[in-house]
């Protein structure tokens, strides 16, 4: 029997949406107030969905402690209370929440081996959320 598990995590980070390939006017037209030279922050809600067979001995898709430890070590310690523009993942990539979502998915895909990674969802605001499930 295959089941899905979605776990929610919270973190805060700042970013500035800006492209060096665009003029000041183009950046302002594209990113609006998110192009503020000082950046701005969000309280993100990250949802990680994994799936797999339910282990008969534990009754679980995966041990929540394994997932929590991995996300804490590889995601939250990396991005919480950080300026995303200064992270290696965004040196050449604009730190939109879409790109943050794919970066987190890639980190989880490479390193979390206890269950199949289905998707990553990030809620940026009450009105904006983003999902990535791989290509």
pLDDT in tens, 79-118: 999 999 999 999 999 999 999 999 999 999 999 999 999 9
User: Token pair for residue 46?
Assistant: 């990250």
Q: Phi and psi for 74 in degrees, rounded to 5? A: -95, -20
Read off the pLDDT band of 32 (50, 70, 90).
very high
* Secondary structure of residue 73 in the 3-state scheme: helix
pTM score above 0.85: yes
Residue 17: its pLDDT value, please?
Answer: 97
Closest by CA position to 48, among listed 66, 27, 30, 21:
66
d(CA 54, CA 57): 9
Find the domain containing 86 and state its range.
Answer: 2-132
Gap between the terminal Cα atoms of the chain: 25
Number of domains in the chain: 1
Average pLDDT on 39-44 reads 96
Residue 1: its pLDDT value, please?
Answer: 79
Beta-sheet pairing, 82-83 with 2-15: parallel
| Summary mean pLDDT of the chain | 96
Residue 126 pLDDT greater than 90, yes or no: yes
């Amino acid at each position: 029997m295959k089941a899905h598990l979605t776990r929610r995590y919270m973190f805060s980070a700042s970013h500035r949406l800006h492209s060096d390939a665009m003029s000041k006017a183009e950046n302002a037209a594209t990113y609006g107030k998110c192009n503020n030279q000082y950046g701005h922050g969000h309280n993100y809600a990250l949802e990680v969905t994994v799936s797999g067979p339910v282990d008969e001995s534990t009754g679980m898709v995966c041990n929540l402690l394994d997932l929590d430890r991995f996300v804490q070590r590889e995601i939250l310690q990396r991005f919480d209370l950080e300026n995303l523009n200064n992270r290696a993942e965004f040196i050449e990539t604009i730190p939109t929440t879409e790109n943050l979502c794919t970066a987190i998915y890639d980190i989880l895909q490479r390193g979390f081996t206890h269950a199949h990674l289905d998707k990553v969802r990030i809620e940026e605001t009450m009105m904006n959320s983003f999902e990535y499930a791989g290509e």
